[in-house]
Amino acid sequence: PQTIRLEDYRPSDHLIDRVDLDIRLAPHDTRVSATLAVRPNPAGVPGAPLVLDGDELTLLGLALDGQALPADAFAASPGGLTLHAPPQRPFTLTVETQIDPTANTKLMGLYRSGGVYCTQCEADGFRRITYFLDRPDVLSVYTTRIEADREEAPVLLGNGDPGEAGAVPGTGRHFAVWHDPHPKPAYLFALVGGRLDRVSAPFTTMEGRAVTVAVYVEPGKGPRADYALDAVLRSMRWDEAAFGRPYDLAVFNVVAVSDFNMGAMENKGLNIFNDKYVLADPETATDTDYANIEAVIAHEYFHNWSGNRVTCRDWFQLCLKEGLTVFRDQEFSSDMRSRAVHRIGEVRTLRARQFPEDAGPLAHPVRPRAYAEINNFYTATVYEKGAEIVRMIRTLLGPAAFRAGMDRYFSENDGRAATVEDFLSAFAAESGRDLSAFARWYERPGTPRVSAAGSHDAQTGRYTLSLRQSLPGGDGAPLVIPVALGLVGAAGPLEATCERVRDGVFVLEAASDTITFAGVAEPPVPSLFRGFSAPVRLEMDLGDAERLTLLRHDTDPFNRWQAAQSVAMRLILDRATARAQEAEGAEGAEGAEEAGPAAAAYAAALGAFLDAEALADPAFAALVLGLPGEGDVANEMGRDVDPDAIHRARQALRRHLGRSLRGRLDPLRAALAPAAGAPFSPDAASAGRRALANAALDLLGIADPEAGTQAAEAQLAAATNMTDRLAALSVLAQIPGPARERALEAFGERYADEPLVLDKWFALQATIPEAGTLERIARLRRHPAFAMTNPNRVRALIGSFGLGNPTQFARADGAGFALLAETVEALDRVNPQIAAKLLTTFGSWRMLEPARSSRAGEILSRMQARPGLSRDVTDILARTLA
């Protein structure tokens, strides 16, 4: 495939100021008539041909200023339309195309989901609707007339504000016209037609504009849309208060569909969502689902400014809208919930998804320099690391200059397609700082390492801290790294001074640097990267006792949590590497799992922590109790990874922790139980209590499987909400035996008609870390609810296996890799985008020990030899194997 490079960017030779669309929906024969107001771009090449993008289109008619074009004036194929010598003045081009939305299983362009017509145009789906300059720097004002059968599609929605609507006399059809006054790139175009229920609410903006907010869902599911509707209203208010950004149309519509390639899409005034991120009620949604709905609703809404009003010049600038909008939705969720708890969640996601990406063959800069298939760059790096960059700007500049920079960025670029340079220059202008060295964050792939060493001089009361940065494989100029830090003593935080630390932040700009604190009477424990102030790996030789001091006394909740994680990580690593060295087969007798004094000290510290604080902040306590994931441990090892050894080591530590805390678990669960008859509330405090109670149940399950089974069965029977029900089922799923099979079967039957709940059930079974799971997955693939055409089902069953079941995915016999590869190959013929995404589960294959990695390599190479793979899969394969 052809490589597209940032350095080759040049403006379009033509612009399209207005687009008038007339779309007549029909299941197989949809007709699209597009009238384009085209003019030469003064910044382009004069006299250049007009080259319109297309993808699987059938051209039915073409006219220039109302006159049919002679055959030799143009060239057309399903993949494009070229006018060899277009007029060098403004002109109108009318193009008629035919498309088949029912046959569109790629879910890009116009397609049908459960009978509902809907669209997905980002990144390049609009060219599957009509021939167009399908690039984000061509902005047009759209008017769309949608026509459909009145029975089949009583609801017709488009971008912008509604206009004329009515019947098409004598046909059983009707139409609606939508006009969007805000110029936008084609990727923000959308329409919806179908039979849908609606919930709505009024909103008045800070400017006094009256807005009607509505959420559309499958018939009968209206009540499940209330939470999402409320989340829209809260997002609108928050963006006004936090960023001064009001909404700008008379309506804001959200539509939930069941077949969707990603989470949701920010089309102007008409956000289209995967129904997983809209539908919620206590019976079917977990606390995590509620939190995700709130976050995704906010994210798409916030794009109205960061993405739509200010869009991207080209796809290399994707982080400009995505990283920024993730930052904005993280801030929103932090304000709605607990900031500390949310921050820990953000970092867990970053480490679980972005760090491995950055350490493997798919690593790329936050602003990539080249791509073969842009849809493969909607990655954790662009999104999550992109958000961390924005967060660092705020840390470096402080909240006031940050806000001023944001205001300037929005006002300078409103209605424009901007670049990362435009973004940085707004902050430079407001703060008077030179951000050119900081800009390296956008260019360098890989996770930087910062190593730290400290020494205390009791005589002078000085503490010296040396920091050194390095980027794997990189020898370029250093990065600008904000290090939020403080010192902690045996009995609490220390008041120490260092003139190079401002507002608690030292900025590491050189490859290495040393700072000195005065007034340090006792040997301190440094608390570095508070709040995870930069996306780096910190290497520091702290002892467990020092880390446990941080857990106890640090003022920074993130580093308190981090301290417990670091101790657990070292314990797991030590055991996993010792195990890996012992000739294998030693699925240790219980005796071999005897914990040493270090594990005992860790468990004792967590016990004391629970006694002191569990009930004061249950959500935080639940996080402190959690061990690093198996993937985190693998990533920390970096090479020669044996997932079985990691799994055993982690399980052993969990078991030890559970047994040590055993006496506390039942009382804790009892203390956290809601009052009988109390109504369910998805708020953060209630969710936190459930999280801690379920963490206790989980420890009970591993410490004492018999008691755990009983408690989980009881919880399953009594649960009044999906959070508690699924948590109980997850505990049972980890304990082989008839109780597990009974519970799984009953759950599957109970929710047979609830696809989103069945997804949880598929995912849970796919992640059981046992050899029998492969057989289970083969069975579930034949389940009537499973379908390759539905991305949620595929992600639930196969994606969860690849991402969440390291021992079985990376089985030594290669059977797990083979399962993934077969699915990717089959799926590639249906939906290449999802196939490519699934294939990225192989991203860390080179980290595995030689036997496993050579199996993975063989399977990937075999796939590469197959003819007819999509560009999406070909691109991921080539990079994964490179």
- Binding residues (CB under 5 A) for Zn ion: these are 322, 325
375 binds, among ligand B3K, Zn ion, none (CB under 5 to 8 A by kind): ligand B3K
Q: Is 384 in the site for ligand B3K (CB under 6 A)?
A: no
User: Which residue's CB is nearer to Zn ion, number 20 or number 322?
Assistant: 322
| Catalytic site positions | 300
Minimum Å gap between C-beta 262 and ligand B3K is: 5
Please work out the total of residues on this chain that contact ligand B3K, with binding judged by CB under 6 A.
Answer: 12
Q: Is 122 in the site for ligand B3K (CB under 6 A)?
A: yes
β-strand partners of 33? 22, 96
Interacting residues of 260 by C-beta distance below 8 A, sequence separation 6+: 107, 113, 120, 272, 273, 274, 275, 791, 792
Minimum Å gap between C-beta 235 and ligand B3K is: 13
> Is 679 in a helix, a strand, or coil?
coil
Position among 322, 331, 546, 636 found at the interface with ligand B3K (CB under 6 A) = 322
Applying the rule CB under 6 A, the residues between 617 and 636 that interact with ligand B3K are: none
Site string for ligand B3K, 740-759 (x = CB under 6 A): --------------------
Structure token pair of residue 561: 């949590």
Alpha carbon distance 741, 103 (integer Å): 39
Alpha carbon distance 219, 252 (integer Å): 20
CA atoms within 13 A on the CB side of 820: 31
856 binds, among ligand B3K, Zn ion, none (CB under 5 to 8 A by kind): none
Q: Is 262 in the site for ligand B3K (CB under 6 A)?
A: yes
β-strand partners of 696? none
Applying the rule CB under 6 A, the residues between 805 and 864 that interact with ligand B3K are: none
Query: What are the backbone angles phi and psi of residue 193, rounded to the nearest 5°?
Result: -145, 125
User: Which residue's CB is nearer to ligand B3K, number 218 or number 300?
Assistant: 300
Minimum Å gap between C-beta 376 and ligand B3K is: 9
Q: Is 302 in the site for ligand B3K (CB under 6 A)?
A: no
User: Which residue's CB is nearer to Zn ion, number 97 or number 325?
Assistant: 325
Minimum Å gap between C-beta 396 and ligand B3K is: 25
Q: Is residue 11 exposed (0-12), middle (13-18) or buried (19+ Cβ within 10 Å)?
A: middle
Site string for ligand B3K, 67-106 (x = CB under 6 A): ----------------------------------------
Stretch of residues binding ligand B3K (CB under 6 A), selected from 152-160, 299-307, 405-413, 501-509: 299-307
Rg (CA), the chain: 28
Residue 114 zone, left/alpha/beta (φ > 0; ψ -120 to 50; rest):
left
What number of other Cβ atoms are within 10 A of residue 47's Cβ? 10
Q: Is 266 in the site for ligand B3K (CB under 6 A)?
A: yes
> Is 649 in a helix, a strand, or coil?
helix
> Is 583 in a helix, a strand, or coil?
coil
265 binds, among ligand B3K, Zn ion, none (CB under 5 to 8 A by kind): ligand B3K
User: Which residue's CB is nearer to ligand B3K, number 187 or number 609?
Assistant: 187
Q: Is residue 454 exposed (0-12), middle (13-18) or buried (19+ Cβ within 10 Å)?
A: buried
CA atoms within 13 A on the CB side of 248: 18
User: Which residue's CB is nearer to ligand B3K, number 191 or number 711?
Assistant: 191
User: Which residue's CB is nearer to ligand B3K, number 300 or number 331?
Assistant: 300
Q: Is 716 in the site for ligand B3K (CB under 6 A)?
A: no
Position among 25, 64, 99, 123 found at the interface with ligand B3K (CB under 6 A) = 123
Stretch of residues binding ligand B3K (CB under 6 A), selected from 295-303, 496-504, 569-577, 748-756: 295-303
Minimum Å gap between C-beta 300 and Zn ion is: 7
User: Which residue's CB is nearer to ligand B3K, number 192 or number 599?
Assistant: 192
> Is 285 in a helix, a strand, or coil?
coil
Q: Is 265 in the site for ligand B3K (CB under 6 A)?
A: yes
Residue labelled with tokens 């690849």: 802
> DSSP assignment of 101-170, as one string?
GGG-TT--EEEEETTEEEEE-TTTTGGGTS-B--STT--EEEEEEEEEETTT-SEEEESSEEEEEEEETT
378 binds, among ligand B3K, Zn ion, none (CB under 5 to 8 A by kind): ligand B3K
318 binds, among Zn ion, ligand B3K, none (CB under 5 to 8 A by kind): none
Applying the rule CB under 6 A, the residues between 344 and 383 that interact with ligand B3K are: 375, 378
496 binds, among Zn ion, ligand B3K, none (CB under 5 to 8 A by kind): none
Alpha carbon distance 745, 755 (integer Å): 15
Q: Which helix (H) or strand (E) holds 705?
A: helix 705-718
User: Which residue's CB is nearer to ligand B3K, number 338 or number 413?
Assistant: 413
Alpha carbon distance 586, 524 (integer Å): 41
Residue 93 near residue 36 (C-beta atoms within 8 A): yes
Q: Which helix (H) or strand (E) holds 552?
A: helix 544-553
291 binds, among ligand B3K, Zn ion, none (CB under 5 to 8 A by kind): none
Catalog residues that contact ligand B3K under the rule CB under 6 A. Answer: 122-123, 262, 264-266, 299-300, 303, 322, 375, 378
